[in-house]
Amino acid sequence: MHVPGFITRNFRLKLGCTIFAMITWVGVVYAGNPPETRTVSLQVPQAPSAIPARFILVQPVPPVAIRIGGARSSLDGFSTASLTVKVNWQSVTTPGEHQVPITITNADSNVELIDPPTSVTANLDTRSSISTPVTIRVTNPPPQGYVISSEAAAPASVVIVGPEQQLKGLEARVTVDLQNQKTNLVVQQALVLIYDARGVQVGDVDVTPGTVKVSIIVAANQTTRAAAVVPRTTGSPASGHYLAGLSASPASVVLAGPQDLLNALDSISTSTISLQGLTGSETLTLALVPPPGVTASPATVTVTIVINALPTPAPTPTPSPSAPATP
């Protein structure tokens, strides 16, 4: 075959220039869009439904790091949505730490996976459950002068499902704040949180039910004090008589009740005594009448009523007639 002379003429020079031009072009292209590698993070599928029913993860499997390579522009436009991780959870047949096989596929042909991982470390335990009572934890007590009379949760216990080895010593707890509470408190849906024996909240367990009804009765603080007994009377003795004395035995009793009520009580009265028409002294056993929320000890006292007759005025003597004068 005859090669034209313009091709063979200065062939080596032309070849060298061509190679140099190609190298320069490649350099320019790579300088503007060079190949790079990057590391991306991808979540590992670990839904409970995918794991054999008799097992449960002791702690979540962390995201897996995947190294990818390609031109800078391809990596800039890459989305991890192009990657799919499949975990062979069915390969787990015993509890403990396992290297669980994974498969990573890439739907972006402009990016390649560089030595993708083939397994992840997972710690699994036997799935178990316990029933535990609900503890009501009061973060702040009621105001001064008030106390918690009773407290209850409904239901009184919950079921905790999780790794068998982590269920020991767990506490189901709800918290309430009574700092400004002077009346009864009802929380319809108090959130149940789980804590371990060290008081650290545990989040990788399931709780059924997740909320309970909390009822707390707040009552005024009970105290005691002495108070004088004051007999209460109505009416007046019969005509010609008067009340000469009125006394109670004992003269004072002990009152018990909320401190704010007792602070205003210096005395306590008896049930009403009618003096209407009395002509003589009487001794009565009467009940004391404390205000609502207060009790008296003893609850009754003996009241002595002394009625005296008014004294009869002495008659004024009539002067005798004067004797006539003797002459």
Task: For residue 63, give both structure tokens.
Answer: 């995201």
Residue 265 identity (one-letter amino acid):
L
Q: What is the mean pLDDT of each run of 10 residues along the chain (327 residues)?
A: 60 70 61 83 94 92 95 93 96 95 95 95 95 96 88 97 92 96 94 95 92 94 90 94 95 89 90 94 95 93 95 72 58
Q: Which domains does the chain have, with CATH numbers?
A: 35-126 (2.170.120.30), 127-220 (2.170.120.40), 222-309 (2.170.120.40)
Q: According to the model, what pLDDT value does residue 63 have?
A: 96
Q: According to the model, what pLDDT value does residue 10 have?
A: 62
**Are 119 and 137 spatial neighbours (Cβ–Cβ below 8 Å)?**
no
22: three-class secondary structure by DSSP: helix
**pTM, entire model:** 0.55
* Burial class (CB within 10 angstroms; exposed 0-12, middle 13-18, buried 19+) of 196: middle
**Are 61 and 123 spatial neighbours (Cβ–Cβ below 8 Å)?**
no
